[in-house]
A and B are shown apart, each in its own frame.
Chain A
Amino acid sequence: MKFTYSIFLFLFVLISCTKENTPPTPPQPIETPTGEMILDLDPKWGAGDLILGQTYTNASNESITPTVFRYYVSNVALTTTTGEIWNQTESYYLVDHANGKQALVITGVPEGAYRSISFSIGVDSLRNVSGAQEGALDPIKGMFWSWNTGYIFSKFEGTSPQSTEANQRFSYHVGGFKSPNNALRRVTLSFPHEEHGGVEVNRMATPEVHIHADASGLFNRSHAISVASDHICHMPGALAMKIADNYQGIFTIDHVH
């Protein structure tokens, strides 16, 4: 015991000494010039536009009238053409397609050429367990479960004659940050090939990345889901995991300009 203590003491003295020997003023970090990137998220149903309140047909040949389509985009990261990764801090956006497209402005992007973008759909586990959050994560946004606390990562609601619920309602609320039902999904999209030099971000150039979010994929991208068999998802679990798998694959870059 005493011996261990002396070792610690010795180490501590050593560390203290080293500290004293280092130059008192560390080199100033160099301010990297930054720019912005705009993500234009465009809701689609197959090849056409998704307009909430209109009726579509899913892969199970069910008639679907979506009324709500919202989701969190978080922890945006960009990879340069040389493979370096920039992670945005405090990176939480709530996308609400109530009025169609939504543009997210990614600020503080270091100037450079980028080949791909990654983001999560949902909210990382840390923010699910850290108390009252602000901004996009404010519980007032209606994307928060109160009795089994945690964020609702996405909502897709509407009506369908195939639903046995009151008013033929269906409602898919996906969330869950704990294993084995962690519904957080990462999306990585490469910028189009023609951009051989990558997408340039600098003070003069703010690229707009047009991303399609094809809601029809919620029903069949990786797993077949039908309203007839599943019309309500209001807690973490197997169904939420399937829907999350499905929407992980619905995002594509249409073009960049």
Chain B
Amino acid sequence: MCIKKLLPICSGLVLFLASCSEDSAQVGGTQLAGDERRNFPEAVYEPDRSQRANDLFALGRKLFYDPSLSADDQVSCATCHLQYAAFSDPSHPIAHGVAGRLGRRNAPGIFNIRWVPDFMWDGGINHIEVLPVAPLTDPVEMAETLENIVIKVDGNPDYSPLFERAFGSDSITMPRILKAFAQFMGEMDSRNSLFDRYARGEEDLNADQKKGLALFDQHCSSCHSGALFTDFGYRNNGLDSIIRDPGRMGITGLESDRGKFRTPSLRNVALTPPYMHDGRFVTLTEVLQHYRNGIKPSATLDESLRGGITLSDQEAQQIIVFLQTLSDVSFTNDPRFSQP
């Protein structure tokens, strides 16, 4: 137990030491010494780090995989957030819920969300602890009431010892359930892709991947910026001329936000198809095609995309090859996050 807890600290220290030395002396093939993407910024939310952290996490994990939290006892969070796909849903363009009902937008992946200032495609949810309320209660998703969820969890004898350990009493309340969810999802750090190892000077990229990175930096990184590969902004990226989903405008009420959606992180992007808020593109090739010559004008279209991005077929392919280096397989295979 103690050693387990110490390990991340030790490895953090080693990493820190290593970073210090690399900045002065180039190691391996890295060209990214000093690159902002080597280090994550300070997180918006810190999971519990006290002694109860592991118990809180175990409770959140069980809840995440529990289909009884839905109205028909068939749909869990994990139904639309699959670990092998970085907790996204690769087989449905838009979310699907109880009785096969369809939601409005594509189920996003879940990782690095403790860095996210506000959630969902429109940024309508302002805190990780209240993030689960919408999917749990939405009639087209899990469609359950919060009262019933507490009753069901209370009625399942497996939970009582988990609450006892995590909270010091087996009283089951919604805020406790929400804090456990936040602990589980807040621990989902994904920062060990090939790109990360390259940035840390541990592994090298091949020529195409490096070319793709250079092209990415030139054409994509103004929005997909920083260690999280997003600036957390909202943009209209030219999907439609006639905009049906108001997007960010639904939250702010501002006409200038019509059809704008959160810039998604591109970490694990190759694992999280389909793409865009409505899942309209199945492959990254289609996505690149869109940015090259599919941009449709409208009043709120992002200035940087007017006229599209000029890339040759080969360059587009190189960007895709680079994007594939952002897949973190150690995260998607991490047994801590699998079905308990």
Interface residues of A (CB under 8 A from B): 128-134, 138-140, 142, 144, 146-150, 181, 235-237
Contacts and interface: CB of A to CB of B under 8 A. Distances in A.
Contacts of B124: 147-149
A88 to B, nearest CB: 21
Contacts of B129: 131-132
A139 B147 contact: no
Contacts of B253: 181, 235-237
Contacts of A149: 124-127, 130, 133-134
Given A138-B173, A149-B127, A132 B150 contact: no
B175 A134 contact: yes
B173 A139 contact: no
Contacts of B127: 129-132, 149
B179 interface: yes
Contacts of A236: 253
A236 B252 CA distance: 9
Interface in B117-168: 120, 124-130, 133-134, 137-138, 146-147, 150
Interface of B: 120, 124-130, 133-134, 137-138, 146-147, 150, 173-175, 178-179, 182, 250-251, 253
A209 to B, nearest CB: 30
Q: Which 7 A-B pairs have the closest CB atoms?
A: A131-B129, A132-B178, A146-B134, A132-B129, A132-B175, A146-B133, A140-B146
Contact of B125 (A132, A133, A134, A147): A147
A238 to B, nearest CB: 9
Nearest to A129: B126
A142 to B, nearest CB: 8
B139 to A, nearest CB: 11
B251 A146 contact: no
Contact of A132 (B120, B138, B174): B174
B129 to A, nearest CB: 3
A129 B128 CA distance: 10
